[in-house]
Structure 1
Amino acid sequence: MNSIFSSLQKIGRAFMLPIAVLPMAGILLGIGGAFTSGPLIETYNLTFLASGTLANQFLQMCFNAGLFVFANLPLLFAVGVAIGMANLNKETAALAAVLGFLLFHTVIGTLLGFQGITPDSVTVDALLAAGKSPAEAAGIASMYAHELGIFTLQTGVFGGISCGLLAAYITNTFSNKQLPDYLAFFSGNRLVPVMTMLYFIPLAFIFPLIWPTIFQAIVHAGEAFSSMGYIGSFLYGSVMRLLNIFGLHHAIYPLFWYTELGGVQEVGGQLIAGGQKIFFAQLADPSVTHFSSEATRTMTGGFLPMMFGLPAAAFAMYRCAEDKNKNKIKGILFSAALTSFLTGITEPIEFTFLFVAPALYAVHAVLEGLSYMLMHMLDVAVGITFSRGLIDFTFFGLLQGTAKTSYQWILILGPVYSVVYYFLFSFLIRRFNYSTPGRNEAENKLYTRKDVNEQKESGLTEAIVEQLGGIENIENIDACITRLRVTVKDASLVASDEVWRSLHAKGVIRSGNGVQIIYGTQAEIYKNQIIAHYGI
């Protein structure tokens, strides 16, 4: 179980790299799509944005710049996963991923040609002419696609992840190999491309044999999730919030956003798989009158708790604090609430009460699940790039209009969620005397930039490494938005939670040799300082 946790944690961390590209791409796509919309231009008489104008051409460029990212997600995942999973020589892993990805699909395309399968023979019309039923024709056609112009199997993001994992394995295994003198030129990093060619050709041979079965299983799993209806949306929202405790949500939600698990829909004459991909394909299609809430059911539900619920919870914690401490904790709670509202990054608030009052987090998870269910029931379809704050709500809700998104329900139910969170948190904190900030001698210091600079000068990063058992005990170190994610060789050498609190950590999560230290938005900075200082 511990090894599974560690592996999922590492995979989730690897997924974060390609996903980090999406917010900017989504914003470009959203702005370009919104302000080149014919109805918008006509309704508000925005003649300076009309077709053919310089402004329109610039927005079209923004639109296409964003669209190409979503069109090439498999390659981005191949490179991102390879970099994330490689222990050393990450740049070599990235090259291996690109080389392997191209080789993988080239070989598959060649094998399909040997079987007489061509782009023309697997169109829906061609399959119908061959006697297939409409359902069979659509199912068969959906298994094929083009990747960077190569006709191949529709392996999508799963294919990219597979290529990335294999590229990382090859890099980890061969990048430090020393060959005999007569082959010394190919030692080390230069051996990786050679082994990439040797490993990826067999992988490409195997995929046409196993992928149709795997593909159908994934499609059926997605159909099963869809058949669960509103209950499925509730379970997804609640479970993902609970997985967030362990940082494992990053390993799960991309499968719903970018693969058939999140559904398959026809958009603009093409079959699109994955909830987020469907949303952005519809965003790019001016003929779509209302975005699909089936596609966004794994995204939209987060707006109510993130924009309205958790800020109200922060206010409840402030009101429940002892009077003498209110001025001290006001800054940190306001900052955390604003972060949640604007960006949808919730961990600064959540980790102020997770460890001192787990029951509050359980209530939060249930309320989030209810939000996902309500948004699905009300046909609200506001997509996201990364999180559910005001920024994404503006670009993919407000700018797209109520006709396409039904975003008005978020504004209607948002204040209701604020009231529910405020009174529930206030009641539970007082009833059970939870040690939230400002109560029962709980830590109530607001860390400023000056404090962080003082910590750097006093050797905080060296202290972190020391309490992890020393640099020789660190096998791998990385960070997500708020957590240092470390794999250690001997978990018994890692310091106690009390020691970590003295080093200003908000919490620690352990499983086997995996350790996550919650440092808020400074986590990435500490990781970079440790890597630079120790030459990891």
Structure 2
Amino acid sequence: MRALIDRLQPLGRALMLPIAVLPVAALLLRLGQPDLLSIPFVAAAGQAIFDNLGLLFAAGVAVGLARENHGAAALAGLVCYLVTTEGAKPLLHAPADLPAAAADLQLAAWRAKEIAKASVPAGIVSGLVAGALYNRYADIRLPAYLGFFGGRRFVPIAAGLAGIALALAFGGGFPLFEAGVDALSRWVVAAGPLGLFAYGVLNRLLLVTGLHHILNNMAWFPVGDFHGATGDLKRFFAGDPGAGGFMAGFFPVMMFGLPAACLAMYRAAPPARRAGVAGLYLSLGLTSLLTGVNEPIEFTFLFLAPALFVAHAVLTGLAMVVMDLLGVKLGFGFSAGLLDYLLDYGLATRPLLLLPVGAVYAGLYYGLFSWGIRRFDLKTPGREAVAGAVEAVLPGDRAVAFVAALGGADNLTSVHACTTRLRLLVGDSARLDRDGLARLGARGVLDLGGGSVQVVVGPEADQLATSIRRAAGSTAGLSGARAGSVRREDPAETVPLSALRQALRDAGPTDRFVRGKRLILEGCDVSAGTCFTDLAGVRAAAWVGSSLHLLIEADVDPDLLG
């Protein structure tokens, strides 16, 4: 089970990149509708994103899984997806009742509509294949006469070949795929309230592992069909009056329940300390109310009171059931917050019923949290032992402080992010300074074993991850070897990265590959070798065919070269 979770977590993270595009798609689509601004070209622009979600998933998943998140993986994902979907179309067998008039046009339109039902699964599979191919072949060396196609250029070629195999699978197996989706859709409908309850509970319980994103994708994109639009989310924006069941239940929890929990935690703090935590709880509550981003609140009590978190998961499942029984259908492009509620009000069914249900949920959460905190003396923020306050530092200094609190640059193997969490691989989790991370504003730290660590920081996670990667490559004075260095075999010595980076910029290679202590540069001018003359840490520079080979005094980490 541990191995399965470890394999699925990168996929959960990668799925967030294309999903992050949905808010702008929903915004453009709704603003352009006749009941709002009535601007057809704006609505068409938003619809274009929904119509091409498969492309977005192919590129986004590939980049999310690839080492260095390199753009070559995105290109490979797009190539694989296009070959898969276009190659599958001729393999689809048309029904006998297609109109005879303009038969070729009718057949082409039918095939395009059918394959569009599989666009998101095809995009995800294409992204998975492209990401795996990039990680396997990004540094491949080919014979000299094929040298131009080596390295990262080889990855889209390999992805195109893989796309042919996928085209055979999707084209030949499309009847099975369609039957499977139909069976799943019928099961979901037949499951009724029980299925919605299970979805709501699991959605929250899987939060700890980050696998709830995978569960969401199953509900939001493949299930159901409304004039070619598949999935609860896409069908909602296509005008399906039956869509929205897998989204409506989140609104009472995120807009009313969790903000009320913040109020309960604030009022549970001793009066003398309430002023110190008022800003924290106000920020958390407003974030959940307005945008539906709720993980920072959940991690405030997830480990302090697991029983409260289980109750929260059960209440989420019940909200799904209640909203469905009341016939309420709501949708969102980002999450279940006030902004999405107002924007998509015109597409919703019985949206005003959210208000009384939300009021009940606010009372439930406030009462449950007030009782639980006092009954079990939970040390929620404001009730814990007095410690250092959240440090106010400049953005660059904060990233440096995060690197130090994470055990130093030499303890960081990889730094990525999803919506609200840093997703890290560390050498030794015992070196983490949890109190220091808390002072820097982290709301929780999850040690998942095997060096996998997640730090909950809120919606700034992606920007902070980028800053941490930069700080780890340019800041001296942290634990272990200097963060701004590539370590030699002797950890007491370092190769100055700043000079190496500058020399690389001056040389202007079109591509580069790393082989242990060898850095191979492609597309350099013949004079580029002089950029590395007498450069500290570079033992030798030599031309091999059209490639410039640099022998470095230590193993090269590509992430540290910028």
TM-score range, shorter chain: 0.7 to 0.9
Q: Which residue of 1 aligns with 2:75?
A: 95
CA separation of 1:239 and 1:13: change in aligned 2, threshold 3 A: same
Q: Which residue of 1 aligns with 2:163?
A: 200
1:484 equivalent in alignment to 2:461 = no
The residue identity in structure 2 corresponding to 1:434 is L
Q: Which residue of 2 aligns with 1:318?
A: 266
Alignment of 1:216-235 (within 5 A): 216-235=179-198
Tell me if the contact between 2:244 and 2:329 (Cα under 8 Å) persists in the aligned partners.
yes
Deviation by residue 1:479-523 (Cα, 9 ceiling, x = unmatched)? 1222101234x5556537556446543222232332211122342
Q: What SS is found at the alignment partner of 1:88?
A: helix
Q: Which residue of 2 aligns with 1:163?
A: 126
1:146 equivalent in alignment to 2:84 = no
Deviation by residue 1:330-382 (Cα, 9 ceiling, x = unmatched)? 11101111111100111222222222122221121111111111111111111
CA separation of 1:29 and 1:523: change in aligned 2, threshold 3 A: same
Q: From 243, 259, 279, give the equivalent of 2:222.
A: 259
Cα distance, 1:315 vs. partner?
Answer: 0.8
Q: Which residue of 2 aligns with 1:508?
A: 445
CA distance in 2, matches of 1:426, 1:34: 46
Deviates more, 1:328-337 or 1:198-207: 198-207
Q: Which residue of 2 aligns with 1:409?
A: 353
CA distance in 2, matches of 1:454, 1:110: 54
Q: Which residue of 1 aligns with 2:401?
A: 460
Q: Which residue of 2 aligns with 1:354?
A: 302
Instruction: For structure 2, list consecutive stretches of 5 or more residues without a partner in the other structure.
Output: 101-106, 474-558
Deviates more, 1:181-190 or 1:373-382: 181-190
- Count of residues in correspondence between the two structures: 466
Instruction: For structure 1, list consecutive stretches of 5 or more residues without a partner in the other structure.
Output: 37-54, 127-140, 283-287
The residue identity in structure 2 corresponding to 1:24 is V
Tell me if the contact between 2:25 and 2:49 (Cα under 8 Å) persists in the aligned partners.
yes
Q: Which residue of 1 aligns with 2:376?
A: 432
The residue identity in structure 1 corresponding to 2:394 is N
CA separation of 1:123 and 1:509: change in aligned 2, threshold 3 A: farther
1:419 equivalent in alignment to 2:363 = yes
Tell me if the contact between 1:325 and 1:444 (Cα under 8 Å) persists in the aligned partners.
no
CA distance in 2, matches of 1:343, 1:180: 53
Tell me if the contact between 2:429 and 2:453 (Cα under 8 Å) persists in the aligned partners.
no
CA distance in 1, matches of 2:380, 2:53: 42
Between structures 1 and 2, the one with greater helix share: 1
Alignment of 1:242-281 (within 5 A): 242-260=205-223, 263-264=224-225, 266=226, 270-281=227-238
CA separation of 1:307 and 1:383: change in aligned 2, threshold 3 A: same
Q: Which residue of 2 aligns with 1:341?
A: 289
1:307 equivalent in alignment to 2:307 = no
Q: Which residue of 1 aligns with 2:8?
A: 8
1:80 equivalent in alignment to 2:60 = yes
Q: Which residue of 2 aligns with 1:495?
A: 432
CA distance in 2, matches of 1:458, 1:100: 37
Computing the radius of gyration over CA atoms, which structure comes out larger, 1 or 2? Answer: 2
CA distance in 2, matches of 1:21, 1:361: 30
Tell me if the contact between 2:402 and 2:440 (Cα under 8 Å) persists in the aligned partners.
no
Cα distance, 1:297 vs. partner?
Answer: 1.3
Q: Runs of at least 4 residues of structure 1 off by over 6 A?
A: none
CA distance in 2, matches of 1:388, 1:89: 29
Q: Which residue of 2 aligns with 1:68?
A: 48
Tell me if the contact between 1:497 and 1:508 (Cα under 8 Å) persists in the aligned partners.
yes
CA separation of 1:249 and 1:468: change in aligned 2, threshold 3 A: farther
CA separation of 1:2 and 1:452: change in aligned 2, threshold 3 A: farther
Deviation by residue 1:7-55 (Cα, 9 ceiling, x = unmatched)? 221111111111111111101212222536xxxxxxxxxxxxxxxxxx6
CA separation of 1:247 and 1:206: change in aligned 2, threshold 3 A: closer
Cα distance, 1:92 vs. partner?
Answer: 0.5
Q: What SS is found at the alignment partner of 2:238?
A: helix
Larger relative contact order (Cα-Cα within 8 Å, sequence gap ≥ 6):
1
The residue identity in structure 2 corresponding to 1:194 is I
CA distance in 1, matches of 2:261, 2:116: 48
CA distance in 2, matches of 1:356, 1:363: 13
CA distance in 1, matches of 2:91, 2:27: 39
Tell me if the contact between 1:2 and 1:511 (Cα under 8 Å) persists in the aligned partners.
no
CA distance in 2, matches of 1:414, 1:496: 39
CA separation of 1:482 and 1:468: change in aligned 2, threshold 3 A: farther
CA separation of 1:512 and 1:144: change in aligned 2, threshold 3 A: farther
Q: What SS is found at the alignment partner of 1:521?
A: coil
CA separation of 1:5 and 1:122: change in aligned 2, threshold 3 A: farther
Tell me if the contact between 2:400 and 2:468 (Cα under 8 Å) persists in the aligned partners.
no
The residue identity in structure 2 corresponding to 1:436 is T
CA distance in 2, matches of 1:465, 1:413: 42
Q: From 308, 311, 315, give the equivalent of 1:367.
A: 315
Deviation by residue 1:75-117 (Cα, 9 ceiling, x = unmatched)? 11111111111113621011111122111222222334xxxx3
Tell me if the contact between 2:296 and 2:458 (Cα under 8 Å) persists in the aligned partners.
yes
Q: What SS is found at the alignment partner of 2:385?
A: coil
CA distance in 1, matches of 2:282, 2:60: 34
Tell me if the contact between 1:144 and 1:154 (Cα under 8 Å) persists in the aligned partners.
no
Q: Which residue of 1 aligns with 2:524?
A: none
Tell me if the contact between 2:402 and 2:437 (Cα under 8 Å) persists in the aligned partners.
no
Cα distance, 1:531 vs. partner?
Answer: 2.5
CA separation of 1:122 and 1:396: change in aligned 2, threshold 3 A: farther
Q: What SS is found at the alignment partner of 1:520?
A: coil
Q: Which residue of 2 aligns with 1:129?
A: none
CA separation of 1:173 and 1:255: change in aligned 2, threshold 3 A: same
Tell me if the contact between 2:11 and 2:65 (Cα under 8 Å) persists in the aligned partners.
yes
Q: Which residue of 2 aligns with 1:177?
A: 140
Deviates more, 1:453-462 or 1:4-13: 453-462
What is the percent sequence identity of the aligned residues? 37
Cα distance, 1:530 vs. partner?
Answer: 2.5
CA distance in 2, matches of 1:452, 1:525: 16
